[in-house]
Homo-oligomer: A and B are copies of this chain.
Amino acid sequence: MNQIIEPKGISHCSVFDTEQSWYNLLTEDEKLLIDENSVTLVFKKGETVCKRGAFASHIYFLEEGLVKVYLEERNKNLILMLSTKNNLLGLAAIYDGNNKLPYTITTYTNSTVRMIDIQIFRQLLKQNSEFSFHIINLLNEKTAQIYGRFFSLTQKQLHGRLADILLCLANRIFKSNTFELPLSRSDMGDLTGMSTESVIRMMKEFKDDGLIEMHCKSIELIDIARLERISEFG
């Protein structure tokens, strides 16, 4: 008898966090090339790493810190994803044709970013197919996550979207049910596609319902199971 394979719910998470395995796919020569053509910069909390519309000159490897990758237009912001350390950013600009950055990146905490010359990165992609295959996988993982968030933000209402983000923060960023939120309520809004006031109201509602414990920036998820149900049913 065939087993019915039920697709799991559409993932809604907005964080991307992979290991540094791409570097190990390079030959010694190639590693050297990267080392010689990259610099490591330290950004303070709140600084902008790169700006949408600028010519893409580097691929960014976040060695340490927490950043947001977002679109801004006419005071409407949409956070595409949050990224923690050990993550390649700016890959979307690799395309030769349109080499403008499609998003802005800003830090939430002091962050260390290795800036790799984009031409060198392209060269390596063109010459090392193991490497480029790995990058394809990275891109696909990111895309899958974006799809999930796309679904979440367009098909769920406030409760579901907020539950999604809270679970995501706990599971993927802080790896703990208790955490100190580095994002403002307004950022939470940009992440969930809701107004700042709605974020505040909704979070209060979650608190009153015993789903979370909260005092300003410090948050604890109490009833994970119920949060997951809220996430699932939108």
Interfacial residues of chain A within 113-151, with CB under 8 A of chain B in the complex:
122, 125-130, 132-133, 135-137, 139-144, 146-147, 149-151
Candidates B132, B135, B147, B233; contact of A102 at CB < 8 Å? B147
Which of B52, B100, B143 is the one whose CB lies under 8 Å from A143?
Answer: B143
**Are B137 and A136 in contact (CB-based, < 8 A)?**
no
Do A125 and B135 contact each other (CB < 8 Å), given the known contacts A52-B7, A141-B95, A146-B150?
no
Question: Of residues 182 to 215 in A, which have CB atoms within 8 Å of B's CB atoms?
Answer: 193
Partner of A125, one of B10, B136, B144: B136
B125 touches A126 (CB 8 A): no
A71 within 8 A of partner (CB): yes
Min distance, Cβ A83 to any Cβ of chain B, angstroms: 15
Give min CB distance, A126 to chain B, whole Å. Answer: 5
A92→B155 contact, CB < 8 A: no
Residues of B within 8 A of A7 (CB): 52-53, 100
Q: Residue A136 contacts which of B71, B94, B233 (CB distance < 8 angstroms)?
A: B94
CA of A54 to CA of B96 in the docked complex: distance in angstroms?
Answer: 34
The answer to whether B154 and A153 touch across the interface, beta carbons within 8 angstroms, is yes
Known: A92-B144, A95-B141. 11 other contacts (CB 8 A): A9-B73, A78-B150, A78-B154, A94-B140, A98-B144, A127-B129, A128-B129, A129-B129, A132-B132, A136-B139, A142-B143
A sample of 29 cross-chain residue pairs with beta-carbon separation below 8 angstroms, ordered by A number, consists of A5-B54, A7-B52, A7-B53, A10-B71, A10-B73, A71-B150, A71-B151, A76-B155, A78-B150, A78-B151, A80-B147, A92-B144, A92-B147, A95-B137, A95-B140, A126-B129, A126-B130, A127-B129, A129-B129, A129-B132, A132-B136, A136-B139, A139-B139, A139-B140, A143-B146, A146-B150, A149-B150, A153-B153, A154-B154
